[in-house]
Structure 1
């Protein structure tokens, strides 16, 4: 697929964020952004533990929890639903 670009030299290429039109296009396309954020150690540990037991990705789980919150589900509902799912899968 990328074979036709193998001889291109991208050493001087600008990152997408430095080109406003491309940055806007990327934001509108619904892709994901790499960010740095601080969370409580206990929160991170809980997501990592759950990911290890379910074989998922803790980052995807955190993204899903945030998505559900934005879509109107209260955090309490997300936690309740997650606990119920865990109890069903281990019970």
Structure 2
């Protein structure tokens, strides 16, 4: 161990940079909602529940952009 450490070049924040096109976000979800997504990932044999939430939101947005008649036919 060093007697002193120089943090003058240190940077605050996450060690891993956020990929382009992504935004770090803090959100409060109901426990049962989060548990459902985690359970789905577990049943699938692994993965990332955050990716699953993102995909569910994306699908909802895409369906919401469809005319009402198309949504009701599916």
Structure 1 CA distance, aligned partners of 2:41 and 2:24?
Answer: 19
1:65 aligned residue? 56
2:72 aligned residue? none
| Displacement over 3 Å in runs of 4+ | none
Q: Which is greater in Rg?
A: 2
TM-score normalised over the length of structure 2: 0.56
TM-score normalised over the length of structure 1: 0.47
3-state SS in 2 of match to 1:72: helix
Listed as ranges, the matches of 1:20-39 within 5 Å are 31-39=21-29
Unaligned runs of at least 5 residues, structure 2: 1-8, 14-19, 65-74
The structure whose residues are more often helix, as a share, is 1
Cα RMSD for the two superposed structures: 3.0
Shift of 1:33: 0.8
2:30 aligned residue? 40
